[in-house]
Structure 1
Amino acid sequence: MALIEAQKFYRDLEKGQLTPLYFLFGEEPYLINQSVERFKYAVLTEGAIDFNYSLFYASDADVTVVRDAVETLPMMAPSRLVILKEAQELSDKEWAELESLFENPVDSTVFVITASRVDKRKKQIRTLLDKASCIEFKKPYENQIPSWINYIAQSLGLTISNEAIHLLHKLVGHHLTEIEGELKKLGEYVEGKRRIELQDVAQVVSRSKEENVFDFTKAIGNNDRVTALEHLVQLLDQGQSEMGIVSLVARHVRILLTVKRGLEENLHGAKLAHYAQVPPYFLENYIEQSRLWTMKKLEQTLVVLSETDKALKSSPLSSHIWLENMVLKTCGNQPSMT
């Protein structure tokens, strides 16, 4: 069965047009988890949830119990819902024990399998991709994150200013799960007013993370290799994801590139801030840093960041080496500005 577009998948769930076997995979856990919640509303009837819902995590699940849950008939309802999360943790033997459920899905059960990583060389994965309704959830593009921040805020009953969105994006990065967690904390902080402003984000989001993120991107922007490496270590020690760090640098470099182009077009003040899509509060820092770079070096740095992103995905065990190499290639050795 071919991959299903996410929007069609959402519409089918709303209409109750369900198939017995789903495979949700990809790098964005927030979207996968949100989809699992949607299945609960689409499949389970009120009053019968306790009898017809089973949730398993592959790392500690007995696949025999999982298979029995899938094959059990629903009680006082048309369908059962069985969720198996993080299926990439299954051994080859465990995959083989579930394969009969892929070849012959149980019509009375909606069996949903999720995975953050997929090895399409595996026979069972190929079978699953062929037999199941499959949806891949990719990470949003960097320029989509502000819209996602606004969407998640609205889903929590909050509104958020553009300046607050920009700062939250800069501090937290592009991980939607982390963004949701910070917005929940912000919602508790603003309580009655239900609107998040720039100062609220500055107060609530971890001060140490804020300082290190700002210091790291500032060091990159200032071409300060030593300081950048120091803050890289601090970010990793704090648990900042390697992919998130690359995303932070890429976003900062793209802003510097846009600011530099704007300056070349004689844009200044509010016009330049609007052109670069940054709040006026931060514009002067970006201008100062952009003057330390040539257009060619900024464009070359984006290529380095793209290569680092690919390397991290293919060799995650060497992540620290790739990131250090990224800083070494990015900072320093700037050509003369004269």
Structure 2
Amino acid sequence: MSDFEKIKQQISSKNLSQFYLLHGEEPFFIDRLVELFEKSVLLPEERDFNQVVLYGAEVSAKRIVEEAKQFPFGSPYRLVIVKEAQSLAKSDIEELENYLKNPNPGCVLVISAKGKKIDGRSSLVQLAKKKYVEFYSPKIKDYEMVNFIQQYLTQNGITANRQVCELIYEGVGTELSVLQNEVEKIKIYYGNSPIHLRPEDVEKHLGVSREFNSYELIDAIFNRDIAKALRIITFYKKNPKQHAPIGILAGIFNSFQQLYTLHVAGIMDKDSASEVLKIHPYRAGNFLSFKRNYSMEDCEFALLFCTNCDARLKGVDNANTEDFDVLFELVYRLINKYWM
């Protein structure tokens, strides 16, 4: 069971610690836990006298400790939540540490610091780990997102294959709050019916084209399908708000960089490729097949051309050519291997 699920279980069973330290770069899980504390620890009629929400940028540790030392009134707990605690001064942190050496047994103190990791060597983190509950929420890496989406859909009673999850990732990126909102809309749309998402459902609900997405573009380039690749770029040109040229270029560059890595490492099996590239074995298998069309030297030229294209998109040696026309030229040269 993950630390996130353990804390959820503690909240639901009311088997609570006197102190929770929630911190990390990914705000999604921290926000969900704080919301659970706010809505589930106390009954509605108990909250007026026993639930306090403070903000780190507006209060001192002295005020936090004063609130935490008060005993509950007509309730088994007093709940003090400090949001945006990353704004607290170092002296405030030290005062909180002094309180936690002898805390109020009737109070649950929740410190939430989003957007940053508190130094694991700090005495506050060490104290939380040793005597209380510490939860660190790291940013989910790009290569982990498709698997995370599949797990998240399953947790919400939705089945979907990997292609569907890749399309969803195309639409939401690494913004987990956006993913949550889209999943909630899908659940409302289907009601109590079993939900099995198909590519056309993603296109309908999220507006992500199953034919004109970045995965299809990369596959078209590496399979040297010039007609398909140019159709996708044309589609992007007609929808520039959803498809920024610099982002498209980054995807192409990263893909050639991955292929170059496989050549340099001499990797021939998809499990090893998956481990090195940090992608799903299915996708790694695709990259191994792409090696037949692009040698290591081809990849070197491609990376050089992508770098040149990046400069042109930023205005270097490019006075008149539109951004998407720069991409058209790049894709044409990559597929036809016009390296000179």
TM-score normalised by length of structure 2: 0.57
Matching residue of 2:137:
137
Take 2:256 and 2:117, find their aligned partners in 1: how far apart are those partners?
Answer: 31
Residue 117 of structure 1 aligns with an amino acid whose one-letter code is K
C-alpha offsets along residues 256-299 of structure 1, whole Å, 9 cap, x if unaligned?
Answer: 978xx9x9679xxxxxxxx8535xxxx7x99679834639959x
Q: 1:73 to 1:196 in 2, by over 3 A?
A: same
Counterparts of 1:251-262 in structure 2, within 5 Å, are none
Q: 1:96 to 1:39 in 2, by over 3 A?
A: same
Instruction: Count residues with an aligned counterpart.
Output: 273
Secondary structure at the residue paired with 1:168?
helix
Secondary structure at the residue paired with 1:104?
coil
1:52 counterpart = 2:57: no
Q: 1:5 to 1:265 in 2, by over 3 A?
A: closer
Confirm or deny: 8 A CA contact 2:25 2:139 kept in the other structure: yes
1:20 counterpart = 2:22: no
Confirm or deny: 8 A CA contact 1:174 1:247 kept in the other structure: no
Counterparts of 1:1-338 in structure 2, within 5 Å, are 5-6=3-4, 9-10=7-8, 12-13=10-11, 15-40=13-38, 43-45=41-43, 47-61=45-59, 65-92=63-90, 94-95=92-93, 98-115=96-113, 116-120=115-119, 126-132=122-128, 133-140=133-140, 142=142, 144-191=144-191, 193=193, 194-205=195-206, 276-277=281-282, 291-292=293-294, 294=296
Secondary structure at the residue paired with 2:122?
helix
Confirm or deny: 8 A CA contact 2:167 2:208 kept in the other structure: no
Deviation, 1:117, is 1.0
Take 2:83 and 2:255, find their aligned partners in 1: how far apart are those partners?
Answer: 31
Q: 1:147 to 1:71 in 2, by over 3 A?
A: same
Secondary structure at the residue paired with 2:103?
coil
Query: What percentage of residue pairs aligned between the two structures are identical?
Result: 21
Q: 1:186 to 1:220 in 2, by over 3 A?
A: farther
Confirm or deny: 8 A CA contact 2:25 2:117 kept in the other structure: no
Q: 1:186 to 1:10 in 2, by over 3 A?
A: closer
Deviation, 1:41, is 6.7
Take 1:98 and 1:6, find their aligned partners in 2: how far apart are those partners?
Answer: 24
Residue 126 of structure 2 aligns with an amino acid whose one-letter code is D
Secondary structure at the residue paired with 2:180?
helix
Report which of the two structures shows the higher radius of gyration computed on alpha carbons: 2
Confirm or deny: 8 A CA contact 1:26 1:117 kept in the other structure: yes
TM-score normalised by length of structure 1: 0.58
Task: Note the aligned Cα RMSD (angstroms).
Answer: 5.3
Q: 1:236 to 1:214 in 2, by over 3 A?
A: same
Confirm or deny: 8 A CA contact 1:256 1:287 kept in the other structure: no
Q: 1:163 to 1:22 in 2, by over 3 A?
A: same
Secondary structure at the residue paired with 1:169?
helix
In structure 1, stretches of 5+ residues that fail to align are: 267-274, 302-319, 321-330
Confirm or deny: 8 A CA contact 1:217 1:252 kept in the other structure: no
Deviation, 1:49, is 3.3
